[in-house]
Amino acid sequence: MSAQALAVEGVSVALDAFALRDLSLAVTPGEVLVLLGPNGAGKSVILETIAGFHRPLQGRVRIGDRDVTALPPEARHVGYVFQNFALFPHLSVAQNVRFATEARGTARAGRLEGERRITALLARFDLARIADRRPADLSGGEKQRVALARALATDPAVFLFDEPFSALDAATRDALRDELADFLREAGVPALYVTHDYAEAMAFADQVAVVDGGTIVQCGPAERVFAAPGTARIARMIGVENIVEGQVRAVADGEAILALGSSEFRVPLHDRAVAAGQRVSVSVRAEDLSVLLPGQAPSAADIVVPARILRLANRGPLVRVDCDCGFPLIACVTRAQCRQLALAPGHQVLVALPRAALNLLAG
């Protein structure tokens, strides 16, 4: 048990209009688990339950080797970072940090020791210079550093992040995301991070748990979950652009031969059981596809289908290419590629799908 930094075991919580059902998850030391799911899925309720704001009807919450199920929030030693960082507006930066050391009673061990700790934390997060400022006078980055310093002051056994960036503008968000990712890597404190943003999840996650309707519908290493969502609904929740439906022609050698439009694909089965004649869905991420001009040679690992470009749309540094291959398919290319290939709506191209990126969905 103590091999886990945090373990939620079979927890059910009933709130007025919402419930968590038999939910289990675990975070190992030094690891970041991202809870990803749509708004209203129950992600925040999971964090609040771990922090001690909801009493489970059944199940246990363990932090390190302590069973904290019956403990109040102030006895659980979690570092909670909320949307907008929830700094105390009537206290200065130093007072915000001091609140944590005083509240935890670390200052009781010695006032001098407590002050030394505060000074060290302010220095570590480059806050000494602005120690007397109020939160209203801080930038987004400074607020985040105060929130982290304040949470660290209590020696948390686990960090809980509840969409800390959701109220920030895009530029600030990108900068803070990198800063936080660096902090999590260096500090090595295990963390649970809630977001509905796929890009944010990608930035932090070692493990990903997809939350839907008050329960975890898929959980695993981030790469694996993002590459191979279990169902079409999960694929949509984690932002997979392409879910195409086809029919199984035959099953052979751990692969299914699928008919999609007028093309035939060989898709790895992994552990899915399908039978000839069955209708199935396949997901593939737009960023895994490449666009080629007719006559260009594809790699041997790719399946190539002819396509007509329907429209091009700018997506930040990338260009989204909507194609018609007899079935709709969305690819992403860089601006430079788009220029080199002279892509334009109406053009005939080839779309290359790496066989390994094709994911057969269940249900």
Q: Which residues bind another protein (CB under 8 A)?
A: 16, 48, 51-53, 72-74, 76, 78-80, 82-84, 86, 88-90, 99-100, 103-105, 134-136, 150-151, 153-154, 160
Minimum gap (Å) between residue 193 Cβ and another protein? 16
List 35's β-bridge partners, or say none. Answer: 194, 209
Closest to another protein by CB, 99 or 183: 99
Instruction: Please state the closest distance from residue 21 (CB atom) to another protein, in A.
Output: 22
Minimum distance from residue 104 beta carbon to another protein (Å): 4
Nearer to another protein, 82 or 183 (CB): 82
Residue with smaller CB distance to another protein, 162 or 241: 162
Identify which of residues 95 and 337 has a Cβ nearer to another protein in the complex: 95
User: Between β-strands 191-195 and 158-162, what pairing exists: parallel, antiparallel or unpaired?
Assistant: parallel
By C-beta, is 154 or 290 nearer to another protein?
154
Cα–Cα distance for residue pair 341/184, rounded to 1 Å? 40
- 63 vs 321 by CB, closer to another protein: 63
Nearer to another protein, 89 or 363 (CB): 89
- Total count of residues recorded for the chain: 363
Q: Compute the least distance from the CB of residue 86 to another protein, in Å.
A: 4
Task: Tell the smallest beta-carbon distance from residue 41 to another protein (Å).
Answer: 19
Quote the least distance from Cβ 76 to another protein, whole Å: 7
Q: Using the minimum distance from each CB to another protein, give the nearer residue, 67 or 174.
A: 67
Tell me how far, at minimum, the Cβ of 16 lies from another protein, in Å: 8
Would you say 10 or 105 has its CB closer to another protein? 105
Instruction: Please report how close the Cβ of residue 148 comes to another protein at its closest, in angstroms.
Output: 12
Minimum CB separation from another protein for residue 103, in Å? 4
Which residue, among 259, 262, 282, 295, has the nearest Cα to 354 in the 3D structure? 282
Q: CA-to-CA distance for 283 and 237, rounded, in angstroms?
A: 12
